[in-house]
Amino acid sequence: MKPLNKKILLAVFFALGASAAALFLYLGGTVTIIADGKKINARSRNVPVGELIKSYGISFSSSDIVSPPPGAPAPRHGNISVVRVTERTDNVTETLPFIMRWSKQYTKNLRPAELQKGTQRIRIKLVKTVFHDGKLASSETVRERTTVKTVYRLALLNEDGTWQCLYDLSKSIKIKMIATAYYPGDPLAWGDGKTTYLGEKMQRGIVAVDPRVIPLKTRVFVSDYGYGWAGDTGSVIKRKRIDLGVNNREEEKDYMHVPVTVYILEKAESW
C-alpha cells in the first residue's frame, strides 16, 4: 500500500479542524457577563441570554437593562451586560425671589429699620430620578404647584441704607401687649430716668420689659412704633406690658395704654 500523499494529509487535517471549530461554535463559545461591577467569563450555550446569566447566579428584574435582551439567543462571543435600574421620587421645594409690594422706614429709633410687605412664592415639585448602576441617568418633573402668601419682613439697615440683617415676621413669636411710654428724665422712670437698668443711655428705641416675658437684650419690633431693644425694666412693667422709650412728654401721650403687637426677633448683645 502506498503511503498517503502529504497534500492529502494536510487537506484531511484542515477539514477535521474546520469541523471541530464548527462544532465548537454550535455547542458554545466564551462570553463575558458584566453585572454588579464584576466580570464573569462564561461558556456560551445555545440558550436565551436570560437563562445563561441566571445559570451563573445573576438575577435581574423587569426594570433592569439586559443587553442583549433576555429572550435573545446567547451570543457566541463578546459581552452580556446587566445594568441595574432604580427610581426615586422626591418632593423638591424652591423658594422663589421675594416680590416687595410696599415698604416703610423707621428712622427715629436706635437704628434705621424697614418694614416690608410682599409676596413670597414657594414652588413644590415632584421629581422622578432614574439611576443606572447607582449613577444619575435622568431626572424629570412629574408635577409641580406654586403657593403664594403675603409676608411681612423687617430689615435692619446700615448707615448707608444697605441691609444688615433680615427677619421674617411671619416666623417670629408675636405677643399682644399693652404699651405705655417714658422719656429721658421721666420722673416715673427708674433712677434719674436717663440711664437704663443695663446702664445704657435712655433714648427712643430702648424698651422696658418684664424679663420673664421678654428677656433683656432682645431685639423686637413693635407695631406702630418700630424697632426696639429690651434694655430696661420697671417696677410696674409686669407680664404683657411694655414701656416704649420716646423723646419727650408730648410724644409719650401717643403711646399711653395702647394695644400693640410685639414681634420677638432675636437675642443680641447690642441693638
130-155 residue pLDDT tens: 999 999 999 999 999 999 999 999 99
Regarding whether 93 and 70 lie in a shared domain, the answer is no
In a domain, 1, yes or no: no
Name the H helices within the chain: 6-27, 49-55, 249-252
Say if strands 206-208 and 241-245 run parallel, antiparallel, or are unpaired.
Answer: antiparallel
Range of the domain at 138: 88-166
120 and 157: one domain?
A: yes
Q: Which of 64, 82, 100 marks a domain boundary?
A: 82
- When divided into structural domains, the chain yields a total of 3
| CA dist., res. 29 & res. 16, Å (int) | 19
Taking a C-beta distance cutoff of 8 angstroms, is the pair 197, 190 a contact? yes
Q: Which amino acid is at 202?
A: M
| Dihedral of the alpha carbons of 34, 35, 37, 39, in degrees to the nearest 10 | -40
Please give the pLDDT value at position 8: 52
- CATH code at 76? 3.10.20
Q: What is the pLDDT of residues 77-105, one digit of tens each?
A: 999 999 999 999 999 999 999 999 999 99
137 vs 18, residue with greater confidence: 137
User: Residue range 65-77: average pLDDT?
Assistant: 96
CB burial readout 15-28, b (16+ within 10 A) else e: eeeeeeeeeeeeeb
Q: Tell me if 256 is assigned to some domain.
A: yes
Do residues 261 and 214 share a domain? yes
Domain-terminating residue out of 82, 104, 132: 82
Q: Could you say which DSSP state residue 170 is in?
A: G
206 inside domain:
yes
- CB-CB neighbours of 189 under 10 Å: 20
- Domain stops at, among 166, 195, 219: 166
